[in-house]
Amino acid sequence: MLGTAATPFALTPLGPFRWQASLDVMANFGPIARHWRDDPDTIRLAFPLDGTFEPVAVALRWDGSQLVGEVAGTTDVNAVARQVARIFSLDSDGSRYEEVGRRDPEVGKLMIALPGLRPVCFTSPYECAAWGIISQRISMRQAAAIQSRLVAENGTRLEVAGGEARAFPSPERLAAVDSVAGLPAVKVERLHAVAAAALAGTLDAERLRALGPLDGPTSVRTISGIGPFWASGVYLRGAGITDEFPDEPLAIAALGALHGVGERPDQATLTRLTDAFRPYRMWVCFLLRVAAGRGVIPGIAGREMAIRRGSRESGTPR
């Protein structure tokens, strides 16, 4: 076990933010749900730190105006704080976010229904790429179970704020993994490719952000086993992008249903609608997905797979 000493930091959101909304997402978001515990006071995360990949742990609690974190496993508290801010979309100024709801009253209604919701991201592009490999062609529940085994057998156990957390394996450790129960050999080989890409800097969050919406995902597609869908996911939800609206069928269908333009609006209509969401297009995309999944948008809940299947069958690359 590593690190029992803890050093604090605090993050103050700019604009609307509700910690409970993040926890609700976290509890049901398979890739990071293993970090969630039914503890009203403290959530413990553990992950490889950006850049160095040293295993770190952080205990998070909401004090009414700030997200307070205690860090163990590293002396670089600022680096941990930056990564936590990205995970919970606190690294962006949301003070103008409510203007989007005024420009689009239908989206404004969703903001009222799901107050303070911001995207909850993967802990890093590295872990996002690994999840993309693990989860291919299986259910999220199956993928989460395999990920948990991988972490239990190869991750680093840390202690922070009187509790334990286990970090995902570093790229060096992942590259040495020979097998994981339930994971085909080809996926193990592809995880090795993810590890190599991480060590080469391909999955660095700031690098991906700097490359932008075209070159960022394209660079991720050089990793064996990562196709267009997960290349986009690594860029958007791994690097924590704020202002892109992806070709995501569920969000598009939800947006179309809200505005009565059908579940697969044409590109001109889609562009017209989503331009009103700048500079928070990804935040609205996330809001639409969560609202659809929770039945806030009539006619969409429970039809996620059918919507995605229909998009593929129509030839629409969403």
pLDDT of residue 309: 62
pLDDT under 70: residue ranges of the chain: 1-6, 38, 40, 304-305, 308-318
**What per-residue confidence (pLDDT) applies to 51?**
96
Span between the terminal Cα atoms of the chain, in Å = 44
Domains, the chain, in order of start with CATH, read 7-97 (3.30.310), 125-154+169-238 (1.10.340.30), 249-314 (no CATH)
- What is the pLDDT at residue 225? 97
Amino acid at 157: R
Q: What pLDDT sits at residue 301?
A: 72
CA dihedral 74, 22, 220, 274 (to 10 degrees): -140
pLDDT given for residue 305 in this prediction? 65
pLDDT score at 147: 97
Asked if 18 and 111 touch (Cβ cutoff 8 Å), the reply is no
Query: What pTM value is reported for the model?
Result: 0.93
pLDDT score for 136: 95
Alpha helices in 176-236, H assignment, sequence order: 185-200, 205-220, 228-233
Predicted pLDDT at 298 = 84
- CA 305 to chain centroid, in Å, comes to 20
